[in-house]
Amino acid sequence: MQELEKKLNYTFRNQELLREALNHSSYANEHRSQGLGSNERLEFLGDSVLGFVTAEYLFDRHPDLPEGDLTRIRAALVCEQSLHEVAQKLNLGSYLKLGKGEEAGGGRHRASILADATEAVFAAVYLDGGITAASELIHRVLLDVEREEVVEERRRDYKTLLQEHIQRKAGQELTYCMVREEGPDHAKTFVTEVRLNGAAIGEGSGHSKKESEQMAAKSALEKLDNQ
């Protein structure tokens, strides 16, 4: 636990809060006789703490943005993918307590489990040290200008941009074809090729078919722009 506390740059007064934040429901169910709780309640609280801290950050940072834009950016910053990246940076998966079945199924690397645990840790820090401690942690691991730029990059719909680009000429047809899958089932990567009138013009990869299509479209746009 001390190793994780160093990564969090926070020392718990109540170590049980951190332990509970790392207990997946599968582990708690297997050890019900010991009265162990899962991290689900902390995850629920952490979601709200994260939402508030992020909303305050964006409200202060972007005084001219309307409510709709603030809501969109907040949703992107606190999405599963962002939280999964935080968990990976903290190596949170190595500290999780999982049931035997979840462990065997690759749960230690599953994005949804890691994202939920990240929210639970935020809640544990909030309960142990208050909103200031939680806010400092969230700012340190999640909220910065660079991550906002990454979020904005992800938000761009490259497929639409590519479609608009090729429609400048009549008779153009785009198709997306998944060409292969890579990696284990719990961390699979999809590789997609985008074709213009049957000829490959870009290739991209991602952890979902949709993401790989977007990356393929981005690749094609970059090539077309350089021609």
Name the residues annotated as catalytic: 47, 119
Sign (positive or negative) of CA dihedral 172, 178, 180, 182: positive
157 annotated among ligand-binding-site residues:
no
Ligand-binding site membership of 119 (annotated)? yes
CA 96 to chain centre: 17
DSSP string over 1-22: -HHHHHHHT---SSHHHHHHHT
Cα separation, 188 vs 181, whole angstroms? 7
The structure tokens listed for 50 are 């994260």
- Helix count and strand count (H, E) for the chain: 11, 3
* Token pair belonging to 47: 């979601």
* Short-list 221, 199, 218, 201, CA closest to 210: 218
> In terms of Cα–Cα distance, which of 114, 126, 148 is closest to 49?
126
Whether 43 has a binding-site annotation, put simply, is: yes
CA–CA dist 79, 165 (Å, integer): 29
Annotated binding site for Mg(2+): 43, 116, 119
User: Binding site: residue ranges?
Assistant: 43, 116, 119
